[in-house]
Every structure is written in C-alpha cells, then in structure tokens.
Amino acid sequence: MSERHDVVVVGSVNADLVIGVERRPAPGETVLGSDLATYPGGKGANQAVAAARLGGRVGILGRIGDDGHGALLREALADAGVDLAHLLVTDGPSGVALITVDTGGDNSIIVSPGANARLVPGDVERARPMLGGAAVVSFQLEIPIGTVQAAARTAAGAGARVVLNLSPPAPVPDDVLALCDPLVVNEHEAAFLLGHQGEPALLARELLGLGPRSVLITLGADGALVADPSGVTAVPSPKVEAVDTTGAGDAFTAALCLRLACGDGLADAARYAARVGAAAVRKPGAQSSYPGAGEELPA
C-alpha cells in the first residue's frame, strides 16, 4: 500500500558548518571569522524541513553517516515531523557543507558529499511505495545523478509531479529534463544549462526548448519568473532586510512544491514561495530560519 505524502524529497542531508566573515578571502588570503556554528542542512533536508514546518506531510529519501553529525541531522528532521522511514545510515561521515557568510548576508559554500554520494538506485527501489504515494517529488543535485534519474522515473511513473532544482549545476539527462514540472534554476544555473547568459525571460523560453514541462527562474530579491508553453509570468518578492541567505532557495522550492501538491497553479505557488523565501533570509542559518505554518509571512 502506498504511503501518502504531499511532498517527498529525494536529496542530500548535510551538516552546515558556518563562519561569519567581514568579507570572503581572496585566493591565498587568510581572514578572521566568527565562532564556528553547526546547523542541520543539505538541500534535501532543508526542503523537507521547510515543507513540513509549513504543514505538509513530508517524507525524505536520503543517507546520513554513523557519526555525530548524522545524529544531529536525524533529530532535526524528526523534530520537524518529516517521515524518516527511508532516511538510511551509511558507515562513515555524513555530508558536510562549509559555509562563509559575509556582512551583507551573501554566502559561499563548499560541500563534501559524504554519505550522500552513497544514495543509490537500489535505495530508490526500496522507497518505491513512498515515491508512489507522493503528490510532488522534489530533487536537487547533491546526490548521484543516476539516483536522481531512477527516482524521477519512478515518481513520474507513479503519477507524481517532478520538481528538479538544478543545484549545484550539473548536466542532466534529457529524459529527466522532460519530466520536470517545473525545472527550478537561478540565473547562474540557467546560464550553465544554456551555455550563455541573457535576459531572464529569454532564458526561460530557451530553457523550455530543452524539454521541461515548465520552468521557474529564481531572481533573489527580484522574485522569480515562471514559464510554460502559455507564456512567461513575473513573480515579485517582498522586500526584506537580508541577514543570511543560506537555505533560502531551498525554502522557496519547498513552499513551491507544497502549494503545487495542494493544487495551486505554478504562478500562484511561486507567489507563495517568494514570501516564504523572503521570510527565511531574515534569520541566520538554513533550517533555523524557516517559518512555521502559523507564522505571518512578508507581504
């Protein structure tokens, strides 16, 4: 029997090791930073926690290590109410992200995949009941592309809506692109796929030509563009003072997936997601910044 979820996330689970800096160092330069802070993170876990906090029924397929970081990550997901039936434990280290955040709230990130690199297509097959019971299945690219491909095919075959956030940017098989509804990218990721930069509305139309059913380009404080065969729609973002942008894109995608699971059209779901993303930049950290279901969002 299928396990019913609004959103299932197939993706990474990382510990975020964060240091604040006045400015990020140039090559060969050393700068002093703040005390090291450790937060639960990873694009997959971030999306799962964000969607669950917003009231969704959420499951995750991912891997953690048998180390102290793994225990922290499991606890954070459990506290948010995420279904952990397919959160698997691997011998060795959990994934880790090394993050610097400057005084403007912008971040730079280096990811060591750890256990995330050991999420394999066989894990997808064992999670088939959960994938088959989801309204929306969300993916990112901090796990092996072969696993993304297997899970996307499984989810789409069971009737779930497939949402792929192309982050970090990497080549994606054509058959996976064809399942995306939407493909979610920022301007850098769009340029990676297309091989050039350009005006966002033109990029959105060109991305549609690669095969996805719909496209969403996030534009940071400028909101987002959504595109499907009927046209391109601009979605504004509320204006807020950014403290830390870490994980804000994951909050946006999670909220988007949840509203799509609830039956919203893509533009309406993106408008809600922009408000959730704006709320997330007002506090430090990734998961620690995500709003709850009853929290007032920026207008």
Query: Is residue 231 annotated as involved in ligand binding?
Result: no
Query: Is residue 133 annotated as involved in ligand binding?
Result: no
DSSP H helix total and E strand total for the chain: 10, 13
**Catalytic annotation, pick one of 6, 91, 250, 268:** 250
Query: Is residue 29 annotated as involved in ligand binding?
Result: no
Query: Is residue 165 annotated as involved in ligand binding?
Result: no
Query: Is residue 16 annotated as involved in ligand binding?
Result: yes
Q: How many CB atoms lie within 10 A of CB 1?
A: 6
Query: Is residue 42 annotated as involved in ligand binding?
Result: yes
Measure the CA–CA gap between 182 and 238, rounded to whole angstroms.
Answer: 22
Query: Is residue 116 annotated as involved in ligand binding?
Result: no
Give the max Cα distance, the chain: 57
Query: Is residue 14 annotated as involved in ligand binding?
Result: yes
Query: Is residue 6 annotated as involved in ligand binding?
Result: no
Contact (Cβ atoms closer than 8 angstroms) between residue 208 and residue 227: yes
Phi, psi of 2 (to 5 degrees): -65, 145
Query: Is residue 90 annotated as involved in ligand binding?
Result: no
Cα angle for residues 38, 41, 45 (degrees, 5° grid): 150
Query: Is residue 41 annotated as involved in ligand binding?
Result: no
As a whole number of Å, the end-to-end CA separation of the chain is 41
Of 228, 212, 291, 237, give the one whose Cα is nearest residue 265: 228
Query: Is residue 221 annotated as involved in ligand binding?
Result: yes
Report residue 26 as tokens.
Answer: 């140039």
Q: Which residues contact 68 (CB under 8 A, 6 or more apart)?
A: none
Query: Is residue 222 annotated as involved in ligand binding?
Result: yes
Query: Is residue 239 annotated as involved in ligand binding?
Result: no
Of 55, 56, 70, give the one whose Cα is nearest residue 9: 56
Query: Is residue 46 annotated as involved in ligand binding?
Result: yes
Q: Which residues contact 195 (CB under 8 A, 6 or more apart)?
A: none
Contact (Cβ atoms closer than 8 angstroms) between residue 10 and residue 130: no
175 is annotated as an active-site residue: no
User: How far, rounded to the nearest angstrom, does the alpha carbon of residue 256 sit from its chain's CA centroid?
Assistant: 10
Query: Is residue 159 annotated as involved in ligand binding?
Result: no
Report residue 40 as tokens.
Answer: 């639960």
Residue 198, SS3? coil
**Residues tagged in the binding site annotation:** 14-16, 42-46, 142, 186, 218-223, 244, 246, 249-250, 280, 283, 285, 289
**Residues tagged in the binding site annotation for substrate:** 14-16, 42-46, 142, 250
**Residues tagged in the binding site annotation for K(+):** 244, 246, 280, 283, 285, 289
**Residues tagged in the binding site annotation for ATP:** 186, 218-223, 249-250
Q: Could you give the residue numbers annotated as active site?
A: 250
